[in-house]
Amino acid sequence: MTYQEKKSIVSIVAAILIFGLYCAYKYANYPAEGLTTDETFHYWGAFVLVLMLVSIIAHIVISIIFNIIFRMTTGEKEPRFADELDKLIELKSNRNGFFVFILGFLLAMGSLVMDGPVQNMFVIMIVAGFLSDVTGSVTRLYHYRKGV
């Protein structure tokens, strides 16, 4: 298995772990009483911002650890640049990821139109963001294994 394939798998596992653990942590701390509209926006705004921050930092740390383990186990250095195949695969993975996110965004707007609670809108958007990340990584893995 090549560097890019391993990296895609690590990326998928990391995304699932980070999102799963963060959601489990926030679920345990979810306010028991009903929230006012202002508090709801504040809670979910903080949820998204902290999730993004935690996710970026965790991805960087996992990427560094992965590169170290890759060098130690294979004796190879990770590629230092992206060539035409990498760029093509990146484009396809971004396209699929954005498509999933747009679907989630439309669903979230749909829930508002159907007079659903504001929480639903945030939950759908956050899940769409997560699924879009995973879709991008799965697309990358698929194209590195099966070709373009």
Partner 1 sequence: MAKNLVGNHIRRLRFNHNEMTQQQLADKVGVTRQTIVALEKGNYSPSLELAFRIAHAFGLPLEEVFYYGEHVE
List the one residue from 3, 43, 47, 70 that touches partner 1 (CB under 8 A): 3
CA 60 to chain centre: 13
To partner 1, the closest distance from the beta carbon of 146 in angstroms equals 5
| Contacts (CB under 8 A) with partner 1, residues 28-87 | 79, 81, 83-86
Q: How many residues bind partner 1 (CB under 8 A)?
A: 13
Extract the tokens encoding 112. 């508002």
Closest Cα to residue 126, out of 59, 52, 56, 60? 52
Question: Which residues touch 70 (CB under 8 Å, ≥6 apart)?
Answer: 3, 6, 76, 78
To partner 1, the closest distance from the beta carbon of 6 in angstroms equals 11
**90 binds partner 1, rule: CB under 8 A:** no
The residue among 16 and 78 lying less far from partner 1, judged by its C-beta, is: 78
